[in-house]
Amino acid sequence: DGGITQSPKYLFRKEGQNVTLSCEQNLNHDAMYWYRQDPGQGLRLIYYSQIVNDFQKGDIAEGYSVSREKKESFPLTVTSAQKNPTAFYLCASSTGNNEQFFGPGTRLTVL
């Protein structure tokens, strides 16, 4: 059963802590993406990776970091430098025509 998984579904973090969101895909897609959604906003691109061991900053990369050591995995770390981290985070992967396949999302709340 191919797809994208994200964990956890809900995440609570104390201010000042780093936290890592997991994203795994078994679709054999080369490209993977992280988006953030805030109320009333569209999906905004944080980071993307078009191939293993390579990734690029998106529109709102400040305060985030990623790694792409394996094709299947693209974890996102929200660092303490991110000023407003409370949001809904979506991971996606894509085929050659860039159609996005999305995971179920992680809702991060900073307490």
- Number of residues engaging other proteins in binding (CB under 8 A): 22
* Residue showing tokens 């609570």: 12
3-state secondary structure string across 7-50: ECCEEEECCCCCEEEEEEECCCCCEEEEEEECCCCCCEEEEEEE
**Which residue, 2 or 42, is less far from other proteins as judged by CB?**
42
Select from 18-26, 64-72, 76-84, 93-101 the region that touches other proteins (CB under 8 A). 93-101
Tokens coding 29 = 């897609």
Report, in Å, the least distance between residue 80 CB and other proteins. Answer: 26
| Interaction residues for other proteins, span 13-42 (CB under 8 A) | 33, 35, 40-42
How many beta carbons lie within 10 A of that of residue 57, not counting itself? 13
Q: Give contact residues for other proteins (rule: CB under 8 A).
A: 4, 33, 35, 40-45, 48, 58-59, 90, 97-105
